[in-house]
């Protein structure tokens, strides 16, 4: 029986611990705009709200489509999914992601007004990928194709577009900063897939980790999280006037600790701690990046 819904259930369904992947590149793109021409606050806020809505919409769509496809079962190791658990009706979750994507589309109209036609293609692609990540006749996550769009749209594209709608030019520094965010997105995706790969194999969900096994997942996570923390070192040479931003890479030591846990885990539940650790590391990374960029 479907239980009565409430704000707490919708917060759970939105998966707030994942919102950093949307917020981080937009904040870094905005801080770069601040020093390269000035923040255009309406555009910055619109980009932030649009990114958050797309992330929440993607999470709700993932919850809905995984349930409909039978990928979420009672034996699931990861955080509870509201549709599979019977906490919110599937049709209600579906309406939720439609609403999120619709609101993001409306915000996108303003960003198109500010940034012109390049934003049209980027915005429509982001909305489409939010749906076909787990939905449609060829869901990307079910065919080992999720990593590249996760890297691009929660990384360089998000950051560079955020800077562009504020200063009217594409910034190479913003692309590099966005690459860090993109690698964090890949790290979070890979740790989720590593945790669930045995269950995914049973239901036919062919993530890269499900296809290639545990060792691949450990290496994918390790390379992603280390690349995320070390990418700012390139900005020492690309933007020497902001050389202090290289200090952000000191977070690599926290990344090494997370990789060690990942490489030696015995039970999938242990990776839930790595998931939270990675999300916190991205938040810390973004804060340090922002402070050192403007000093």
CA distance between the termini of the chain: 56
Task: Please report which helix (H) or strand (E) contains residue 186, including its range.
Answer: helix 172-203
Q: What is the mean pLDDT of residues 167-184?
A: 97
**265: pLDDT strictly greater than 90:** yes
- Please, are residues 191 and 262 in contact by the beta-carbon 8 Å criterion? yes
Distance from C-alpha of 182 to C-alpha of 147, rounded to nearest angstrom: 9
Q: What is the mean pLDDT of residues 181-201?
A: 96
**What pLDDT score does 4 carry?**
45
More confident position, 49 or 5: 49
Distance from C-alpha of 72 to C-alpha of 96, rounded to nearest angstrom: 19
CA 38 to chain centre: 26
| Domains along the chain with CATH numbers | 7-294 (1.10.600)
- Please, are residues 190 and 216 in contact by the beta-carbon 8 Å criterion? no
DSSP letters for 261-294: HHHH-SSGGGHHHHHHHHHHHHHHHHHHHHHHHH
Q: Global pTM?
A: 0.93
- Please, are residues 25 and 164 in contact by the beta-carbon 8 Å criterion? no
Label residue 99 exposed, middle or buried (CB < 10 Å: 0-12, 13-18, 19+).
Answer: middle
**2: pLDDT strictly greater than 50:** no
Q: What is the mean pLDDT of residues 165-189?
A: 97
Q: HSE-up of 5 (CA within 13 Å, CB side)?
A: 15
**What pLDDT score does 1 carry?**
38
Distance from C-alpha of 229 to C-alpha of 256, rounded to nearest angstrom: 10
**What pLDDT score does 6 carry?**
81
């Amino acid at each position: 029986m479907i239980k009565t819904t409430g704000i707490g259930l919708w917060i759970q369904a939105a998966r707030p611990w994942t919102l950093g992947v949307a917020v981080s590149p937009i904040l870094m793109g905005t801080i770069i705009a601040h020093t390269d021409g000035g923040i255009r606050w309406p555009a910055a806020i619109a980009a932030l709200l649009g990114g958050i809505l797309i992330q929440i919409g993607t999470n709700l769509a993932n919850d809905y489509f995984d349930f409909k496809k039978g990928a979420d079962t009672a034996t699931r190791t990861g955080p509870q999914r509201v549709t599979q658990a019977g906490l919110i009706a599937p049709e209600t979750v579906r309406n939720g992601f439609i609403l999120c994507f619709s609101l993001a589309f409306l915000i996108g109209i303003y960003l198109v007004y500010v940034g012109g036609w390049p934003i049209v293609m980027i915005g429509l692609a982001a909305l489409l990928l939010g749906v076909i990540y787990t939905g449609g006749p060829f869901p990307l996550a079910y065919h080992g194709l999720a990593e590249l769009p996760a890297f691009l749209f929660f990384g360089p594209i998000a950051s560079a577009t955020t800077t562009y709608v504020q200063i009217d030019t594409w910034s190479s520094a913003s692309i590099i900063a966005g690459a860090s965010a993109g690698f964090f997105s890949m790290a979070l995706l890979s740790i989720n897939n590593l945790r669930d790969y045995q269950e995914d194999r049973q239901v036919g969900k062919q993530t890269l980790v499900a296809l290639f096994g545990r060792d691949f997942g450990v290496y994918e996570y390790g390379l992603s999280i280390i690349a995320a923390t070390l990418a700012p070192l390139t900005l020492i040479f690309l933007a020497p006037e902001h050389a202090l931003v290289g200090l952000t890479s000191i977070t690599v030591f926290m990344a090494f600790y997370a990789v060690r846990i990942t490489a030696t885990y015995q039970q999938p539940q242990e990776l839930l701690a790595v998931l939270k650790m990675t999300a916190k590391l991205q938040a810390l990374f973004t804060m340090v990046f922002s402070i050192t960029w403007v000093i």
